[in-house]
């Protein structure tokens, strides 16, 4: 089980068995979000990426940051595992991947099933919502899904 709380940026996690510091591969960087989105070859995916960026900024009120080479994250939280392991993470995120747009929004919110039923064409796996293009879904419902997920995760 995970729990979260707002903290400063750390880029290390601790292995609970050895308590050795382990550097995280996915961590906040100083890379430009706009440069990353502009580097996307697929014109539709690039345009969708900028549109989703605006939705996340409006919903979260947070400034976007690159996390690793391909994830755009918003806000900070600390994930705490039952094992005692902790790591810094973003509160909300998405990634315009080559095969689809991945939004990290699937959570245990009681509102989510009803919202997803209205969303349109998507696939979900784990915490990831995958959409091929924004024209496949209802953007107003997508914004509601992002907002619900962000509020749910911020309460932890």
Q: What CATH number does the domain containing 39 carry?
A: 3.90.1150.200
Q: Examine residue 61 and state whether it is found in any structural domain, yes or no.
A: yes
Q: Examine residue 38 and state whether it is found in any structural domain, yes or no.
A: yes
- Characterize 86-111 residue by residue with b for buried, 16 or more Cβ atoms within 10 angstroms of its Cβ, and e for exposed: bbbbbbbbbbbeeebbbbbbbbebee
Q: Examine residue 18 and state whether it is found in any structural domain, yes or no.
A: no
Separation of alpha carbons 114 and 72, rounded Å: 26
pLDDT tens digits for range 100-134: 999 999 999 999 999 999 999 999 999 999 999 99
Separation of alpha carbons 30 and 14, rounded Å: 23
Q: Domain count of the chain?
A: 1
Q: Examine residue 65 and state whether it is found in any structural domain, yes or no.
A: yes
pLDDT tens digits for range 34-77: 999 999 999 999 999 999 999 999 999 999 999 999 999 999 88
Question: What mean pLDDT do residues 131-150 have?
Answer: 97
Q: Examine residue 17 and state whether it is found in any structural domain, yes or no.
A: no
Domain that holds residue 129: 29-75+92-155
- Residue 151, SS3 per DSSP: helix
Q: Examine residue 3 and state whether it is found in any structural domain, yes or no.
A: no
Q: Examine residue 126 and state whether it is found in any structural domain, yes or no.
A: yes
Q: Examine residue 19 and state whether it is found in any structural domain, yes or no.
A: no
Q: Which two tokens stand for residue 49?
A: 């990426």
Q: Which two tokens stand for residue 54?
A: 């605006």
């Amino acid at each position: 089980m995970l729990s979260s709380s707002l903290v400063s940026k750390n880029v290390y996690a601790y292995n609970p068995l050895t308590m050795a510091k382990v550097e995280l591969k996915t961590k906040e960087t100083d890379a430009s979000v706009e440069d990353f989105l502009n580097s996307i070859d697929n014109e539709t995916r690039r345009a969708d990426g900028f549109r989703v960026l605006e939705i996340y900024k409006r919903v979260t009120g947070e400034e976007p940051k690159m996390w690793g080479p391909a994830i755009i994250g918003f806000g900070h939280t600390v994930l705490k595992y039952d094992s005692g392991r902790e790591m810094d993470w973003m509160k909300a995120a998405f990634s315009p991947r080559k095969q689809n747009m991945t939004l990290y929004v699937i959570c245990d919110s009681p509102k989510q099933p009803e919202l997803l039923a209205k969303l349109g064409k998507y696939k979900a796996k784990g915490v990831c919502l995958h959409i091929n293009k924004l024209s496949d879904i209802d953007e107003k419902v997508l914004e509601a899904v992002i907002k619900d997920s962000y509020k749910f995760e911020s309460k932890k």
